[in-house]
Amino acid sequence: MKIQTFDTTLRDGTQGESVSFSAEDKLLIAQKLDELGIDYIEGGWPGSNPKDKAFFERAKHLRLTHSKLTAFGSTRLAKNSVEDDPNVRELIAAETPVVSIFGKTWDFHVRRALGISEEENVKLISDTVRYLRAHGHEVVYDAEHFFDGYRANPSYALKTLEAAQKAGAGVLCMCDTNGGSLPMQIGEIVAVVRSRFDGVLGIHAHNDSELAVANTLVAVEAGATHVQGCMNGYGERCGNANLCSILANLELKLGHTTIGHDKLKNLTSVARFIAEMANLPLRSDQAFVGPSAFAHKGGIHVSAVMKDAATYEHIRPETVGNRQRVLLSDLSGRGNVTYKLKQLGLKEDLPETARREILDRIKRMEHEGYDFEAAEGTFELLVREAMEPNFHPFDVVGYEVSTKLEGEETVTSANVTLRVGETVHSSMTTGNGPVHALDVCLRKCLAPAYPAITDVRLTDYKVRVLGAKGGTESKVRVLVEWSDHQRSWATAGISDNVIDASWRALVDALRLELMRLLETLEPSEPLVSARI
């Protein structure tokens, strides 16, 4: 069955704490959602703030190929005629093909929030829907607090839906606005509404009871054919139903059609893009699209997954654009190491005894505070050092860092001395802080001997103070991420001194890159420059 998809990330999603999009962000996200194949994109409330109004003005020039842009608003105010209501005027001015309006369904809200009679509220609904339809708009009617209202006064809740449908609403969307309903309640109520109303019924669930996705799926099984939600589950309080999970479950588990299997392969990339636009990390454990959704850590799990991924994966990661990952930790077995070796293209180059030694070393280092899940470059260095035990690209003679005040500015200097073969290289420079100064000095020392190392760049730097884990309370873990313009990797350093931990991570990253370079050379081709 075809299920209509309605994304409200740009409206309801922005009501979530820490979620904020500029008008430009919204335009870019709308384009991505259109490419994903979402049917309706709710862009915001043009009558509520200048930013949304500006978005709809600029969105008139959007060239969407599939999605219908939707403006959101409320029914007219009781004191206004529909023609003179400012909110309704802004909805018309937005010039979107679809308008989504919400109205009161719960008699408690009608009396307490609006302070009007139940009949007056019904007239607000019918007047507003009819007026919007007369101006050529498709109308999605959001029955706010529908499930709470139905439990309190079912006849009145149904009466509000009837008013909206008779006035011309194309979708009657039942909202679990407080997010407190349970799946069995949702299923029973939607089934009743389905028996009473023809046409498209929708579901809009909030996640305050951690049931928004489940409630949405139950509503579809009971007869809803229109689902609303936000990408990554953004939204007020505990968020809206996570549209990523809804799409994947409807397509892959229930056999319905939403965006189609081909476009479902873009789900992870779109989820990450929107998280980037929101300047928020994509939740690692987010179902289907999170980095950990198909990550395996326990040795028994990994051993089974290597034989058949279906042993511990409910779907193939590729169907939603994600990938399988195997993590290295103190819980790892030999299967984890074998998997990572194969992933690095090194599987045949390391004997079984060396693999066992690496596994033992990983567990010892994890006990010290290393994190191989994030620092896969450190694991690769362990492997390459085991494969090439006699290769020492350089030795550290010493390093020094100093910081002093010059007027109102802080100036940091670093001095590094390395030995490459029989030659000693020294460099002294200033930098934007001690880590930057050490990074610059280190590469300056190595560049005469290894010119290719100048292409390596530090792209990210993180510090974490380690808690009570194996007596490492006072230690810090530094994670540095690198790129050579072709690939990225991360290395870690552990110490009770943040500068020393940073230095260890820097040195390991460049040792790893030099060992990689050694692998690419012809037997007669020297790694060290003849200039030294």
Q: Which residue has the higher pLDDT, 520 or 495?
A: 495
User: For residue 206, what is the DSSP state?
Assistant: B
**Structure confidence at residue 332 as a pLDDT band (50, 70, 90):** low
Confidence (pLDDT) at 188: 98
Q: Is the pLDDT of residue 184 over 80?
A: yes
Share of the chain above pLDDT 70, in %: 89
Sign of CA dihedral 13, 16, 19, 24: positive
> Coil, strand or helix: which one is 247?
helix
Residue 353, pLDDT above cutoff 90: no
pLDDT tens, position by position, 208-217: 999 999 999 9
DSSP string, 406-463: ETTEEEEEEEEEEEETTEEEEEEEEESSHHHHHHHHHHHHHTTT-GGGGG-EEEEEEE
Angle ∠(425,428,431) on CA atoms, nearest 5: 135
Q: How confident is the model at residue 457 (pLDDT cuts 50, 70, 90)?
A: confident
Structure confidence by residue, pLDDT tens digits, 358-394:
777 777 777 777 766 667 778 888 878 877 777 888 9
Strands (E) across 278-359 are located at 295-296, 325-326
**Higher-confidence position of 478 and 127:** 127
For the chain, what's the residue count?
532
Supply 507's token pair. 């040195």
Are the CB atoms for 173 and 140 separated by under 8 Å?
yes
Could you report how far apart the first and last alpha carbons of the chain are, in Å?
71
- Report d(CA 195, CA 36) in Å as an integer: 33
What fold does the segment set 395-520 form as a domain? Double Stranded RNA Binding Domain (3.30.160)
Full-model pTM: 0.71
Give how far Cα 362 sits from Cα of 53, 138, 329, 370, 382, Å. 55, 60, 7, 8, 9
DSSP for residue 174: E
Report residue 347's pLDDT band, with 50, 70 and 90 as the boundaries: low
In this structure, which CATH number among 3.40.50.2300, 3.30.930.10, 3.20.20.140, 3.20.20.70 belongs to the domain 4-277? 3.20.20.70
Per-residue pLDDT tens digits for 135-183 = 999 999 999 999 999 999 999 999 999 999 999 999 999 999 999 999 9
How do the domains of the chain map onto residue ranges? 4-277, 295-360, 395-520
Confidence of residue 532 (pLDDT cuts 50, 70, 90): very low
